[in-house]
Amino acid sequence: MGQKPFNDTFLKACRREEVPYTPVWYMRQAGRYQPEYREIRKQYSFFEINDNPEVCAKVTRLPVEQLGVDAAILFADIMTPLKPIGVDVDIVPGKGPMIGNPIRTVADVNRLRAIAPQRDLPFIGDTIQLLREQLSVPLIGFAGAPFTLSSYLIEGGPSKDYHKTKGFMYAYPEEWQALMDKLADVTIDYLTYQIASGAQAVQVFDSWIGSVGADDYEAYIAPTMEKIFTALKATGVPTIYFGSGAAHLLPIWNHLPVDVLSIDWRIDIQAARALGIEKALQGNLDPSTLLAPWEFLEKKAKAILDQGMAQPGYIFNLGHGVFPEANVSQLQRLTKFIHDYTKK
C-alpha cells in the first residue's frame, strides 16, 4: 500500500499516556490562510465543500500533508448540523454564520427538529470513511456546544457580547433548558454518528462560553455539558472541550466527564495545573503570535512546551483558530520545531 504507519501520538496524549514527542494540530488548520484552499473556494461555496466527500476529504487532508501535524480535523462548520434541524444558516465571508430565522420565542425553539445524521448528513459519514482510508494520523470529529450554537441562533449571527443569548437564558430558564436539551441531543447524535463512521476523537467547540460567569455556567450550562460528555464516554473515543477566555470556568470543567481541556493563552499550563486540573490539556499559543518573527514565536512555543511536557497528557495547539493572515511556512516551521524540541 505504501501508506505510512499509523501515528497515534495524539490519541496517546489525549489518554495521558507516554508519547515519543508532543503531538500538535491547529484549530482551523484547513482554511483561508492556505493558497490551495482559497483556490478550491473559488469553485465551491463553504457548504458545497462540506457536502462533497471527495473535496471535503481533500481539504481536511491538506494541512496534514502540508504542515505535518499529528491529527486531522474534519472540515466542516459548527453550523453544519443545524441546517437539517430547520435553521436557515449561511456562512457569509468576512462576517461568519448568519441566521435567516433567529430564535425569538418559545415557538422558535419548539420548531427545531431532531437530527437523523445518517439521513440528514450522509456526506459527513462518507467523508469520514474516505478519510480513514487516506489518513495515517487520527481523525478528529467535532461539533459546536449548545451555548455557542444558541448564541448564533438567538443573536442571528456573530456577537461581541451575547446580551440577547444571556437575556433569553435569564428570562426564560425553562425555554432555555428546552433549547439546551434539543441542541445537546443534536450534538450527541451528530458526534456519535461521526464516531461510528470512523472519527477517532471528538472536540466540542464552545468558543463563546467565556462570556458566561461561573455561577451562570454552573446553573444554565454545566448540566447540558455533563449530559453530552457522559453520552460520548460510552463510545470510548477521547473527548476534548474547547472554550476561549474561559479560564474562570476551568474548576467547573475539571468535574465534567471529558478527557481533554483546550485552553487559550490567557492562562498558562502551569497555572491551570495549579488549579488542580489533572485532565489532559491542549493549547495554548496565542494565534496572533503567528504574525511575529520566528525567533519570537519559537520563544513562546518553547515556554509553552516546557510547561506542557512537565507531565503526560499535553497536546500543542493554538488558543483559537488559525486566521486568514497567518502563513503556511510559519506553521510548517512551528510544527517541525515542536516535534524536534520535544523528541525523546
Residue recorded with cell 476534548: 240
The reply to whether 77 belongs to the active site is: yes
Q: Is 92 in the site for a second copy (CB under 8 A)?
A: no
Side-chain-side CA neighbours of residue 36 (13 Å): 13
Read out DSSP for 55-120? HHHHHHHHHHHHH--S-EE----TTGGGGGGT--EEEETTTEEEESS---SHHHHHHPPP--HHHH
Query: Nearer to a second copy by C-beta: 232 or 285?
Result: 285
Closest residue by Cα to residue 123 from 193, 52, 30: 52
Q: Is 325 in the site for a second copy (CB under 8 A)?
A: yes
> Which one from 16, 28, 193, 220 is the annotated catalytic residue?
28
Distance CA 21, CA 75 (A): 26
The reply to whether 104 belongs to the active site is: no
Q: Is 94 in the site for a second copy (CB under 8 A)?
A: no
Q: Is 266 in the site for a second copy (CB under 8 A)?
A: yes
Print the binding letters for residues 18-37 with a second copy: x by CB under 8 A, - otherwise. --------------------
The reply to whether 152 belongs to the active site is: yes
Distance CA 229, CA 333 (A): 35
C-alpha cell at 65: 500533508
Q: Is 267 in the site for a second copy (CB under 8 A)?
A: yes
- Find all residues with CB under 8 Å of 87, minimum gap 6, and list them: 79, 99, 101, 112, 153
Segment 168 to 197, residues that bind a second copy, using CB under 8 A: 168, 170-171
Print the binding letters for residues 282-321 with a second copy: x by CB under 8 A, - otherwise. ----xxxxxxxx--x-----------------------x-
The reply to whether 108 belongs to the active site is: no
Segment 215 to 244, residues that bind a second copy, using CB under 8 A: 216
Rg, C-alpha atoms of the chain: 19
Closest residue by Cα to residue 122 from 60, 64, 193: 193
Considering only 48, 161, 218, 306, the residue that binds a second copy (CB under 8 A) is: 161
**Any idea which residues carry the catalytic annotation?**
28, 32, 41, 77, 152
Residue ranges of the annotated binding site for substrate are: 28-32, 47, 77, 152, 207, 320
Residue ranges of the annotated binding site are: 28-32, 47, 77, 152, 207, 320
